[in-house]
Structure 1
């Protein structure tokens, strides 16, 4: 399957407004856009590399340390790629590196891989299949981002609602043991991907299921 080269379009909403940042990726021609929810620390790590007015941290961040490790071991990051949308809930990425002529592939969260790629000027890719499934037309998404009546909260609400709909469509909730296990798996996925609002909602659902069991 072919890969599509992408770039970081933006990171938002502004952190003081809502604790769940969103990362927007676009193809080079800005025809398609892919949106990912990420953690606050990863958002800062990415934003520090793309924002002209962003002040560098006083001490190296985790991804700066990772860059130093690669450099001191004589390894070079060749590219990173978002390979999969797993269970319609979270994305999977790989860091492809060369270590003294040996190809190395490292499993990673997309946000960590992108933060590293920006620091070493490595290209960022998305598998064509992932973009076909989860990507949106840039013109439609840009209108959401730029519209004056869409505050960061409103944009995030739309994204969270879309995530909830995908979760519900993937694993409908019914009051039985199988459903309880399914929701617990969804909760773990939300925690791993740092989707805290979804995690809170799923914890409430688990309590209801256990109470009615």
Structure 2
């Protein structure tokens, strides 16, 4: 079976499951999208890695990455290899001193690790045919924008009211509470103002 390479293009709140998120993957050479429902913690972990935010202590996926590196193992690729009853199954393909090792993984964890290692994410055509959706690029962008734009715009407007000192205090507070989405917004506001 030929593998199809995927890229993460969005993370948005799930419309069908309010406490979960949808990680939207797009095939690199096609129009299909693969929405994968993940929990809030996993979505946050993926977003933190994408945004390259630092936390004061390593998160679970950072710890796992550090452990693999200490054990001379490199995550070569992630493969979403199966779907059963709407649940995706994935494999971590590791290279340890030239030996290839495959490990079963939840797809949400596999995606969080793929982002941290910078490795490719793959799936197969039969999975894209079963669970993928085809959208025009404009429709996809509009749909993704509608999900979080109103909340993000409201948060940005609220942040504009604070001075730099207050923003830095807020940033420390949200980082200590591991609210990395809010931290990213505050960081962006500070960068917009040319402050650190």
Same fold (TM over 0.5): yes
Within 2, Cα distance between the matches of 1:148 and 1:48? 19
SS at match of 2:58: coil
The ranges of structure 1 where at least 4 consecutive aligned residues each deviate by more than 3 angstroms after the TM superposition are: 147-152
Tell me the residue number matched to 1:201. none
Within 2, Cα distance between the matches of 1:67 and 1:132? 32
Within 1, Cα distance between the matches of 2:145 and 2:48? 27
Tell me the residue number matched to 1:21. 21
Give the 5 Å matches for 1:87-106: 87=85, 89-106=86-103
Contact kept, 8 Å, 1:30 with 1:138, in 2: the verdict is no
Tell me which of 135, 142, 145 is aligned to 1:146: 142
Query: Which stretch of the first structure deviates more once superposed, 38-47 or 129-138?
Result: 129-138
Within 2, Cα distance between the matches of 1:48 and 1:138? 27
Shift in alpha-carbon separation, 1:150–1:101, aligned structure 2, 3 A: closer
Q: Which runs of 5+ in 1 are unaligned?
A: 153-213
Establish whether residue 6 from structure 1 lines up as the match of residue 9 from structure 2.
Answer: no
After TM superposition, the score normalised by the length of structure 2 is 0.67
Within 2, Cα distance between the matches of 1:139 and 1:148? 12
Within 2, Cα distance between the matches of 1:100 and 1:47? 30
Could you tell me how far 1:59 is from its partner in structure 2?
1.1
Could you tell me how far 1:2 is from its partner in structure 2?
1.2
Within 2, Cα distance between the matches of 1:24 and 1:151? 12
Give the 5 Å matches for 1:39-54: 39-51=39-51
Q: CA-to-partner distance for each residue in 1:25-59, whole Å, 9 max, x for gaps?
A: 001145110001101111011111223xx743221
Question: What is the Cα-based RMSD across aligned positions, in Å?
Answer: 2.5
Within 1, Cα distance between the matches of 2:121 and 2:109? 12
Tell me the residue number matched to 1:34. 34
Shift in alpha-carbon separation, 1:134–1:12, aligned structure 2, 3 A: same
Q: CA-to-partner distance for each residue in 1:51-102, whole Å, 9 max, x for gaps?
A: 3xx7432211111011111100011111001001112x20000000111221
Contact kept, 8 Å, 2:10 with 2:144, in 1: the verdict is no
Could you tell me how far 1:149 is from its partner in structure 2?
10
